[in-house]
């Protein structure tokens, strides 16, 4: 998979990185990253990570989500596909379908859509070169 030990080390460092979209930030575009990502603001586009995504209590996402693990406290309008564990916290609201291997739903969480569990997905593919900065945003970011 990796050409050398150095390539493997670079990919490992990228997957250990963390990204944050803060409260009050609006991101209009798709996000692809190898590392963890936490959303507290608003994202209008799809999100894809090979690691964990956390949608904080103030988050609003309009797009599809694909990740290894996820914890949702905010609102998602779109489908969510998680290869390992999805946790829906009491303030979570999902308007779309859920596909995951394991699902934990805490009291108060809500989702409107279908749910398919026990699904083991193949590897999540991220476009671009793993030696780049590890994140890819294709439109503009506006702070409000």
Cα–Cα distance for residue pair 33/17, rounded to 1 Å: 9
Element (H, E) at 101: strand 98-105
pLDDT given for residue 8 in this prediction: 58
Per-residue model confidence as pLDDT tens digits over 94-120 = 999 999 999 999 999 999 999 999 877
Contact yes or no for 43/21 (Cβ under 8 A): yes
Residue written as token pair 């990204």 = 19
pTM of the predicted structure, to 2 decimals: 0.78
> By mean pLDDT, which of 20-34, 84-98, 125-139 is the weakest?
125-139
For the chain, the domains span 5-143
Reported confidence tier of residue 133, pLDDT bands at 50, 70, 90: very low
Which residues does residue 66 pair with via DSSP β-bridges, in sequence order? 48, 81
- Which tens digit of pLDDT belongs to each residue from 34-77? 999 999 999 999 999 999 999 999 999 999 999 999 999 999 99
DSSP letter (8 states) at residue 63? S
What's residue 119's pLDDT?
76
**pLDDT reading at 139 higher than 70:** no
């Amino acid at each position: 998979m990796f050409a050398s030990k150095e390539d493997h080390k670079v990919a490992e460092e990228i997957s250990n990185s963390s990204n944050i979209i803060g409260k009050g930030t609006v991101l209009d575009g798709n996000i692809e990253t190898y590392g963890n990502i936490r959303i507290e603001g608003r994202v209008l586009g799809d999100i894809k990570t090979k690691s964990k995504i956390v949608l904080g209590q103030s988050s609003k996402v309009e797009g599809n989500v694909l990740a290894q693990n996820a914890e949702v406290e905010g609102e998602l309008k779109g489908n969510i596909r998680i290869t390992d564990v999805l946790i829906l916290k009491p303030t979570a609201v999902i308007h779309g379908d859920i596909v995951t291997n394991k699902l934990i739903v805490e009291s108060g969480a809500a989702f409107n859509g279908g749910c398919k569990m026990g699904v083991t997905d193949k590897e999540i593919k991220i476009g671009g070169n793993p030696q780049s900065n590890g994140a890819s945003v294709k439109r503009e970011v506006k702070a409000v």
